[in-house]
Amino acid sequence: MALPKNCRNICKMPQDLLKDFIWHRAIKVEGEDENIIRQDYAGALIRWDEFEQNTEYGWTMTPMLPITKGGKADFMSMIPWHIQNAKSKGDNYTHFETVLTSDANQNITKVQKWENLKKIC
């Protein structure tokens, strides 16, 4: 397991512990094993074992406030995102779009516009 580029050599926590800490920030899915499947903030399903993989349930962690906007890559600011939603969000902060959510325990493409991340986190 490799940490995302935006966190390597910055986060002061062992990699496995950091991954576990961020995983527990993801949303539990009713009827699913919380150790295997969760959702990101946009509702996209992510799988524990698909960390940093560009797959249907792949996920990563990024700082809530992007580093380019003054954010920090420390464990307190990192949140889990599906890989596709992380790419869509990019370095945008209070106004951004996500492209994936879920319906009936399956990921679906759906553009969602976010206007103030502070209010939903």
DSSP 24-70: TTSEE-TTS-TTTEEE-TT--EEEGGGBT--STT-EEEEESS-GGGT
Question: pLDDT digits over 23-40, tens only?
Answer: 999 999 999 999 999 999
15: helix, strand or coil: helix
User: Which two three-digit tokens encode residue 88?
Assistant: 């869509």
End-to-end CA distance of the chain: 27
How far, in Å, CA of 82 to CA of 97, rounded? Answer: 13
Residue 10: what pLDDT? 52
pTM given for the model: 0.84
Q: What is the mean pLDDT of residues 12-20?
A: 83
How far, in Å, CA of 74 to CA of 30, rounded? Answer: 29
